[in-house]
Each structure stands twice: as structure tokens, then as C-alpha cells.
A and B are shown apart, each in its own frame.
Chain A
């Protein structure tokens, strides 16, 4: 069947919706949102890093761009969450395009360093920008009785969702599934094959007529845009935002560690990595301190990079190959 994958995606979205209606315990939506947000970050990172071989260390900067675009919009226009996410995606995508335009002519290393620099510059700027709360941060009250296309979305009695946590969880889940679809589409498209060629040898790709610069720019914009969409609901989720939570190092390390652990060559890698690592972190954070949690992520990343270069997916492929022989 031609549209098998698309049908599965739609079914998953319906399933997510059903979960928000059935499950009563809000805690699951609270941690589910975080895992799904990490998943979007990991998928976004992999579009450029896994397929094209360009490492982005500034994932937190792109996420924060989305988050602060949303905050500025709430202050300025009081628009709804969906509009915030679209705007956050566009602005972060443009930021990715600009960064790529400035540094992608150079070796990959410089792009990596530039993204780190970008995150610090953005953090400094945001800390001085009082309109969005400055260094002290600002609290965001979710809109009461929000509507989308004439339907009341969040209300305890009449809304589609009983409360905001369920709505945010459903939104992020839908975004994650759309991102999975996009990254899978890219993987099998001309863009993905071009990026793969760039990863193997940029010079050879250029010689074969691959428009390397254009492909890299498209990938940076898509990757940045996805991160911006993931970041936009952050302020509504936390009901508070400050530079420390938006530019958190956790995002930067997880966005790299999750694809690396799952496997960077395929769309499924970041998804598996995010599910495993994200769930493990959320569960273990209940009884161990968050620093120790991060230390474990760092160690797992280094170990995987050294002993399992293809990630978990690579293991499976290898063992399948082995048994077929």
C-alpha cells in the first residue's frame, strides 16, 4: 500500500488524542510533553547532523528563539498557541538560514563553533531585553478559554481538552509525528541523498553536480524551524520563562545524544534515542538529582560514540545481517 506510513501517522495522532481523553493522571502529560519535545529536537538535529554531517551545538539557541518569539507575540498580540508555534518555527528557521549562510561555506567545524557562539550571543541579548522579561524572566499566564477555528479548545467542562497540559501534550505529539514524517520524507528524497553525499565527501558531491550550498541551507532552515516549533510552547508549559530555562544545556546535549544513541543514518534513530533516553531521564529524575542525570547522559553519549558508531539501529542492522548469512 502506498500510503501505509501516512495512515500509521494519522492513527498515531488519533491515538494521542484518545489518550488525552482517557488518561486522567496529569503527570503523564507533564512528562510526556518533555519527551516529545526532546524527540522533535533530536529529529531536527538529525536532519542536518545525521544526514549532512554538520554538527549543531546551539540547539538550545534555536529552541529559545522559538520560545521567545512566542513570548514576544503573547505580549504584543495575545495570539494563540498554534500561531505562536508557526511564528516560532519561521523565525528560528530564518535564523538557521542566516547562520548557515554566514558559516556553511567553511569546514563543518566552524559551523559547529558558530552555532555555539550564536547560542551565547542570543542569551546575552535576551538577558538585556526587558520586553520579554530580561535576565529575571517573566511569567506567562495561559489564555483563558482559547479558541481555534471557532471551537473552544481548553475548558474544564465544554472544551475539547480538560486543561492546558493535555492540549500541550497533544500539540507537541502532533508536531513530533509531523516531524517524523518530514524527516522520513527528506531521507528518501533528493535532498536527503544530496546531504548524504555531502557527509561522505563534500568535494566529490560538488563535482558530481550536487548543489551543496543550497541543500545545506535548506537543511539548516528546516532543522532550525523544527527546533523553533518545539520551543514555542515552552513558556506556556512552564508558565514562566527566563534565559536559564530556555537556553538550558540539557537541550543542547540531548539533541545530540539522542540521535547518536539511536543512530543517525535513519529517521527512526532520533525517535528511538528520544524515547529511551527521554523516558529514562524523566523516570530517574524522580529519585536522583538532575545533575547526576545529565552526567549519565554525557557518559552514555561518549560511550556510544566510541563503541557503537551506528547507534542502536546499527546494532539491529548488524545482527540482522549476521543471521541472514
Chain B
């Protein structure tokens, strides 16, 4: 019994930490897909790109991965800016975003992933930092102790700060409120004298910019390889849809739910089943509760 409680407790703690980390991966998509309705399926692959940039800066210059992520952020902001510029002019303006817009992002996903394979190969890469590899043991009772790996703790803390900062920005500032207004009524915004396209462009760039720090966290938590993006696709979309489109708090909570579910399955059934968890939850949510746990409807309209 003690063994079971020990396992369960560890799985729960790891799951919650993992959830915070997932929130940092999903927050960008929560902005681009949830608020702006741009289905950026290349987002997880951009995170992997961010992770490789962190790897490059860490292995060549010895820069701390999180600092490397911060350095990469402006680059991703510009990348997002450019992508939205193309996306708006070619697809959104003519109303062709559903079929061709999706194919466009799928193509981007593919180009980034294969480009990384060509540049770095398919080997797993990792970074070096003082907090990687250490862990913190909390002894609770006889045969029961909880081990908290520092790399997960660091990822959790950084992710929480970043997510809460974005949430505060979107709810407290004028521009943040304009972004949320775009999601609700573009016409009204235009009547108020705000250019909705400009707001969308900046917000989209912000969403993509999260790939800098998010990617750095990714390589801190686990060794990375180029095809990881497609694996995380299930996670981030499950989180954004489960959390209710456009709800940042919902995204946070959904991330913790997915993290705990994955961690428990990995502990009791083996880690190779973990990918099926988030995708399974995603399918179930789409089939039975497409509006998510706390959000506006994602249904047909």
C-alpha cells in the first residue's frame, strides 16, 4: 500500500509540475488559435525550433538555456509578424483560411521539422545547466518520499511566471483588451478607431514569440529531437481546446489536468503510452464537449 501511495504521490507532483510546463507550451497557441482564430498547427514545431536555438547557444557559447530563450524571443516575434503578414494577405483576406491556410501551416511545420533534421540529425540533444540532473527529496513518511527534479521545478516556475505575466497583460492593459476584443467583435473594434489587423498581427507575433522561452523549457525538461513537435501537437491542442478557446485561466487548469493524467498513465502503464493520453483526451473532448471545460463554444459557426 505504501508503495502505491508513494507512486501516486510522486505521479501527482510530477504531473502538476509537468502541467505548468505544458501551460507555457500551450499559451502561445491559446493566443493565436484561441483568441485570433488562426490555426497555427506549426506552433509546437516552432517550440522545437526554439529548443534547438537554446541548444545551439548553450553548447557553443555556454549561455544558460533560459537566457538563450529570452534572447531568441525577438527573433520569434519577427518570425510571427512575417508569417501573419503572409497569412493575412494571402488567405484571411480572401476567406481561404480553412483549406489553404491549414495546408500553409502544415507546410511550415514540415519545412521547419525537416530543416532541423537536415541541420542537426535525428539524435536526441540536451543542454547543460547547474539545475539539470539534481533533485530534491521530501520525506513524508515511512517508505513515502516525493522526489522533485529541479529541471521540472525550474520549468514550472519560469512557465508560471511567463503565463501569469501574459494573462495580466491581456486583461489589464489597453492593448491586451484590444486583443480580446478582436476575438469578440472585429467590426466594433474598427468602429472604435482601432485597426484590428494591426492588433491581430502583434498578438500573433506575441503568440509565436512564446516559442523562445517555451522551447528553452522544452529542452530543459527532456532531450529533444526534430519530430518532437508533432508529439506535442496533441498536448497543446488538447490543452487549448479543453481549457475553452481563448480562456487563459482555462488553459492553465487544462494544462495541469493533462500533465497529471499523463504522469499517472506513465507511472502505472509505462511512459510509452503517454503520447496516447493527450491525443485520447483531445479526441474525447472534441467528440463530447467541444466547448471545453470553461469556454465559449467551439462548435459549428
Contact = CB atoms under 8 A, between A and B. Distances in A.
B140 interface: no
Interface of A: 49, 53, 55, 57, 102-103, 105-110, 112-114, 116-118, 120-121, 124-125, 127-128, 135, 199, 202, 249, 253, 256-257, 260, 264, 289, 291-292, 294-295, 297-299, 301-302, 305-306, 309
Interface size class of B (residues with CB under 8 A): 35 or more
B98 A53 contact: yes
B283 interface: yes
Nearest to B301: A107
A120 B106 CA distance: 16
Contact of A121 (B99, B110, B283): B283
Q: Rank and list the top 4 A-B pairs by shortest CB-CB distance, nearest first.
A: A302-B107, A298-B110, A102-B287, A117-B279
Contacts of A49: 99
A291 B290 contact: no
For B99, B231, B272, the residue with the greatest tally of chain A CB atoms inside 10 Å of its CB is: B99
A99 to B, nearest CB: 9
B177 interface: no
B280 interface: yes
Contacts of A298: 107, 110-111, 114
Given A121-B276, A291-B117, A309-B96, A113 B282 contact: yes
Given A106-B290, A291-B118, A55 B298 contact: no
Contact of B286 (A110, A120, A264, A294): A110
A213 B29 CA distance: 29
Contacts of A128: 272-273
B103 A295 contact: no
A289 B115 CA distance: 12
Contacts of A257: 107
25 contacts: A102-B283, A103-B286, A105-B299, A107-B299, A107-B301, A108-B98, A108-B99, A108-B102, A110-B241, A114-B286, A117-B283, A118-B283, A120-B231, A120-B233, A120-B234, A124-B273, A124-B275, A125-B276, A127-B272, A256-B106, A294-B110, A295-B111, A301-B107, A301-B110, A305-B103
Given A113-B282, A124-B275, A305 B100 contact: yes
Nearest to A57: B106
B104 interface: yes
B275 A113 contact: no
A113 B111 contact: no
Given A103-B286, A302-B108, A306-B90, A113 B237 contact: yes
B205 interface: no
Nearest to A118: B283
Contacts of B280: 117, 121
B34 to A, nearest CB: 12
A264 B118 CA distance: 31
B170 to A, nearest CB: 22
Contacts of B117: 291
B87 to A, nearest CB: 10
Given A108-B98, A306-B86, A114 B114 contact: no
A205 B53 CA distance: 48
A117 B234 CA distance: 6
A31 B100 CA distance: 30
A295 B110 CA distance: 7
A294 B114 contact: yes
B279 A121 contact: yes
A110 B100 contact: no
Contacts of A118: 279, 283
For A117, A202, A260, A299, the residue with the greatest tally of chain B CB atoms inside 10 Å of its CB is: A117
A301 B299 CA distance: 29
Interface string B38-69: 01010000000000000000000000000000
Contacts of B273: 124, 128
Contacts of A292: 118
B230 interface: yes
A55 B103 contact: yes
Contacts of B96: 309
B300 interface: yes
A306 B272 CA distance: 39
A245 B114 CA distance: 17
A232 to B, nearest CB: 24
Contacts of A108: 98-99, 102
B114 A55 contact: no
Interface in B236-294: 237, 241, 272-273, 275-276, 279-280, 282-283, 286-287, 290
B272 A124 contact: yes
A297 to B, nearest CB: 8
Interface in B77-109: 86, 90, 96, 98-100, 102-104, 106-108
A107 B282 contact: no
A114 B234 CA distance: 9
A202 B98 CA distance: 12
Contacts of B100: 260, 305, 309
A259 to B, nearest CB: 10
A102 B103 contact: no
Contacts of A114: 282-283, 286
A305 B298 contact: no
